[in-house]
Amino acid sequence: MAGEKTGLQLLDFWVSPFAQRCRIALAEKGLAYESLPQDLANKGELLLRVNPVHKKIPVLLHDGRPPVCESLIILHYLDEAFPGTPPLLPADPVARAHARFWADYAEKKVFDCGTTLWKRTGQAQAQARPEMVEALRTLDAELGDKAYLAGEAFGFVDIAVVPFATWILGYGRLAEFSVEEVCPRLLAWAKRCGERESVAKNLYPPEKVYEFIGYLKDTYGDK
């Protein structure tokens, strides 16, 4: 997709769950954009210039305006800058607050704990295992029998959390637990989300993500 009409460009990385959030959100809103893939092992001048604070992707560029960094902030920005597109966040303030709460929970618990699982060894890794299982059980219980995390409609919290779902299989393998036993409803939800074109086009199969986790472990993991 090119961003000529909207003037949108995304500093991107294929398997990044944070970039995937933005790509799914842009697709849900029907906003064309140009993806600018970044080499994170050898960061280029553009990334360092547009995100000098964190030096991380994703970064959204919009028509020469100051860059917008941080995936969830980008999602909020898209809702605010393109009011004519389908909103990601629900209208009700309490529902919005809950959506933000669970997006934050999944990132802090599942993604951060997952990073400990592939990066660390010994006691740190061993401690992360029960934390991961508890976090997945908690998310599974929060989902319960709902179709999507916030109820009957797919939205902000699903977009924020579903990229992590493709990493869960890898976490289960690393920590030797059965994801099917720990979070069956979450797996069914991820499959349901994957039926949407916005998600299907922007996520990768868990096996491919697991291969990438192996690369991360070999390259950046504790030796």
DSSP the chain: ---TTT-EEEEE-TT-HHHHHHHHHHHHTT---EEEE--TTS--HHHHHH-TTT--S-EEEETTSPPEESHHHHHHHHHHH-TTSPPSS-SSHHHHHHHHHHHHHIIIIIIHHHHHHHH--HHHHHHHHHHHHHHHHHHHHHHTT-SBTTBSS--HHHHHHHHHHHHHHHHHHHHT--HHHH-HHHHHHHHHHHTSHHHHTT---HHHHHHHHHHHHHHHS--
- Residues 72-131 binding ligand GS8 (CB under 6 A) are 72
Stretch that binds ligand GS8, among 29-37, 64-72, 90-98, 125-133 (CB under 6 A): 64-72
Cβ(37)–Cβ(13) below 8 Å: yes
CB 5, min distance to ligand GS8, A: 25
CB 111, min distance to ligand GS8, A: 8
Q: Which is nearer to ligand GS8, 6 or 51 (CB)?
A: 51
CB 75, min distance to ligand GS8, A: 9
Both structure tokens of 82: 């393109």
Q: Which is nearer to ligand GS8, 18 or 118 (CB)?
A: 18
- Residues 165-204 binding ligand GS8 (CB under 6 A) are none
Residue 56 binds ligand GS8 (CB under 6 A): yes
Residue 71 binds ligand GS8 (CB under 6 A): yes
CB 13, min distance to ligand GS8, A: 6
Q: Which is nearer to ligand GS8, 29 or 56 (CB)?
A: 56
Nearest residue to ligand GS8, by Cβ distance, number only: 56
Residue 156 binds ligand GS8 (CB under 6 A): no
Stretch that binds ligand GS8, among 1-9, 10-18, 29-37, 192-200 (CB under 6 A): 10-18
- Binding residues with ligand GS8: total (CB under 6 A): 11
| Beta-bridge mates of residue 36 | 11
Residue 35 binds ligand GS8 (CB under 6 A): no
- In terms of DSSP H, where are the helices of 68-121? 71-81, 93-105, 112-119
Residues in the site for ligand GS8, rule: CB under 6 A? 13, 16, 18, 40, 55-58, 70-72
